[in-house]
Amino acid sequence: MKKKVTKFLHRCFFLRNFDLVRNITPNGVHPRQAAGYERGMAYVMIRYPKEKYESFMLEAKSLSCVRDERTLFDGLSFLVAPGDIIQVEGPNGAGKTSLLRILAGLAQPDSGEVLWQGANTRQQRDRYHQDLLFLGHQPGIKSMLTPFENLQFYQAVGQQPNHQAIWQALEQVGLVGYEDLPVAQLSAGQQRRVALARLWLSTSPLWILDEPLTAIDKQGVVELIALFEQHAQQGGMVLLTTHQDLTGTHRAVRKIRLAETRAEIA
């Protein structure tokens, strides 16, 4: 046991006050052994109060993006309000990923600006990133850590530890049984699911997601879409790219269509 804890500390030395306790139910029982625990059970996700969400708004003003001397989009403006689910559409190479990266502050537009609560995101980078959850093509997780440890790391940055919530997130993405394997030993699809598990833990009002439904089975797609709807219902905002048809969702999905330097807002 001592060697195991020491090894864990070596792998997580960069975290202060990293919580090593693994009692994830009140009596210390593994959730798969706890009475009544099963996939799909209802539970309360960690969330800000709805009234706090409702004070947030994202605005894109006259955004232009040029890549390899080709204009992907020009003069693109739109608002993202609490409760919005917005799907960015367009053919390959139209600039969908570029737009999401600009909105997330990971790339700069050739002209225009992105505002969060009325202020340029470049002038409030730390605050903006606290309110944002971005999932890109790369999973953005640490290969030397296990799935459980990755989610502990995610929670340790600005959240209170909640081991039960971590187990529930792992259960939702079908990774219970893999929680103690180093992520480097998991398949690409499983690594993607580790990243997606953060959605069930997120306290961020704004989610920007690049192809979150890729390589996910039908049941997983249903559960993720339900999560997007729940997040929006609570006043959150979701911007995503996906090839999945979202017309069957209970909430209206707004669309931004990118094509031939033009953008249509629906």
Sorted by where each begins, the domain ranges of the chain are 58-257
Which of 69-83, 101-115, 159-173, 199-213 has the least mean pLDDT? 159-173
Above 50 in pLDDT, residue 240? yes
Above 90 in pLDDT, residue 58? yes
Q: What's the pLDDT score for residue 37?
A: 35
The C-alpha atoms of residue 264 and residue 76 are separated, in whole angstroms, by: 9
pTM comes to 0.79
The C-alpha atoms of residue 259 and residue 227 are separated, in whole angstroms, by: 29
| Top-level class of domain 58-257 | alpha beta
Closest CA to 82 of 43, 123, 48, 130: 48
